[in-house]
Structure 1
Amino acid sequence: MKSLLLVATGGAAGAAARHLLSQASMRWLGPAWPYGTMAANILGSLLMGALAGWLAYKVDGGRDLRLFLGVGLLGGFTTFSAFSLETALMIERKQFANAGFYAAGSVILCLMALFAGLYLARKAFA
């Protein structure tokens, strides 16, 4: 039961943070591109890498932190389903180049961000 509460609480906070980021990106950058989703996924990947590195090197009892921060908070913050929908909508609108750039760019940038987070955590905590 404790693990469920950790994940649920973290997930709620992550989803709220993602919503705020999406709203801010719409105000600042407009609706022409899914900036909020891409930013959430890249930032979430960076933070996930940093979290994994931190938990691997420095934390005793990291299970609860992994559940709250990794599964809950970052799981609620990042959004593969929104990414998939936005890509599909671009394809339906025949915006094939945009869909390709968005899909490839999201995957590549998220992987790069995750490795950057791991690298930073290893440097900071190893």
Structure 2
Amino acid sequence: MVALGGAIGTGAREAISLAIPPVGGVPVAILGINVVGAFLLGLLLESLLRRGPDAGRRRDLRLFLGTGVLGGFTTYSALAADSSVLLIEGSALVGVLYAVGSVVLGALASWGGVVLARRIGGGRS
């Protein structure tokens, strides 16, 4: 399940990154992919948690969608490589801002997904 989901997520990431070129040398596709993926992972995991223990169908969904699809879709290695290329090419400030901004935006997006799942599920935000 994880391998199948990973193939789907990786394929989607590659298609998006090929379709959206860098803007001013900044790989915005990977930034967007990681932020959207973080949001969806927060939403998924909180939604599954609210439905009960991590067993049976919920566990299968977490492994397929969370670990597989979203794990393949998002990519820390591309973030690290893209940041280092920006640093090496003399864009130190842009490279640092890209790396730090990606992590901060990803954390905020994940939090947003959790909050949305809680609101949809009727819990506290």
Q: CA deviation at 1:58?
A: 2.5
Q: 1:63 aligns with which of 45, 59, 63?
A: 59
Q: 1:87 aligns with which of 83, 94, 110?
A: 83
Partner of 1:13: 8
Structure 1: segments with no counterpart, 5+ residues: 1-5
Distance 2:7 2:29 in 1: 17
Distance 1:31 1:47 in 2: 27
Q: 2:41 aligns with which of 45, 48, 58?
A: 48
Distance 1:25 1:116 in 2: 25
Does residue 1:110 correspond to 2:103, yes or no? no
Identity %: 38
Partner of 1:25: 20
What's the RMSD between the two structures over aligned residues?
A: 1.4
Partner of 1:3: none
Aligned length: 119
Partner of 1:100: 96
Would you tell me which structure has more helix in proportion to its own residues?
A: 1
Q: CA deviation at 1:91?
A: 1.2
Task: Return the TM-score normalized by structure 2.
Answer: 0.89
**SS of match in other structure, 2:86:** helix
Partner of 1:121: 117
Task: Return the TM-score normalized by structure 1.
Answer: 0.89
Structure 2: segments with no counterpart, 5+ residues: none
